Chains A and B, each alone.
Chain A
Amino acid sequence: AQSVAQPEDQVNVAEGNPLTVKCTYSVSGNPYLFWYVQYPNRGLQFLLKYITGDNLVKGSYGFEAEFNKSQTSFHLKKPSALVSDSALYFCAGMFSGGYNKLIFGAGTRLAVHP
């Protein structure tokens, strides 16, 4: 079955340190992969996407993600975390045959401490 997994419920990082939020996927074929962020009591905001081409994609607010086909991963990264990055992050996939729907991971809460 097609799925997206986020193995960490929460990630804690100190401000200024690099951060990584992990995502893996399970699918046959070539997925489209996305990261969304959700701030408290807000909707989902698009951060970045991988469709094809360069495995390293850059997105909003200094975030980037690396598509790794051999490891079926799409980890979100940022070189230097900010307190304002604290939010709920969702990895999502759009898979062929899925009628264009997004399948979300369970979400990872990122807490950046001063």
Chain B
Amino acid sequence: EPEVTQTPSHQVTQMGQEVILRCVPISNHLYFYWYRQILGQKVEFLVSFYNNEISEKSEIFDDQFSVERPDGSNFTLKIRSTKLEDSAMYFCASTPGGREKNTGELFFGEGSRLTVL
């Protein structure tokens, strides 16, 4: 069964460093997402991406964050200068189509745990 894969599973970084989290969405999916979960708390929407551009972003997704689909398979989240409060589990998700076309669920990866020291 196809799945969303994320790397790394865990990354430890120093405050101020740049981090790139990678995701390989399911191959025929068109919408991609990043979500964040701080220490087993609420899952928060960060950004959605469609047709090679951001379709929506939350207040959390400030100028320190960026997303990119550098090739036909990867979808990356970059944090330019990490802060302590960026420590969280980051989940990538994908779905075949939009709400009007697709009544299916979002498919989530296993997550990348980011620890900022």
Contact = CB atoms under 8 A, between A and B. Distances in A.
Interface of B: 31, 33, 35, 40-45, 48, 50, 55-56, 91, 93, 95, 98-99, 102-111
Contacts of B106: 46, 102
A43 interface: yes
A32 B99 contact: yes
Contacts of A49: 103-105
Given A43-B109, A44-B108, A99-B48, A104 B43 contact: yes
Interface residues of A, number: 25
A90 interface: yes
Contact of B43 (A96, A100, A107): A107
Query: What are the 5 A-B residue pairs with the smallest beta carbon separation, nearest first?
Result: A99-B56, A43-B110, A104-B43, A44-B108, A51-B103
Interface in A23-81: 32, 34, 36, 42-46, 49, 51
19 contacts: A32-B99, A43-B109, A43-B111, A49-B105, A51-B103, A90-B43, A98-B56, A98-B99, A99-B48, A100-B48, A100-B98, A101-B33, A101-B48, A101-B56, A102-B35, A102-B93, A102-B106, A104-B42, A107-B42
A107 B43 CA distance: 8
Given A99-B48, A100-B55, 6 more contacts: A44-B91, A44-B108, A45-B108, A101-B56, A102-B106, A107-B43
A110 interface: no
B65 to A, nearest CB: 16
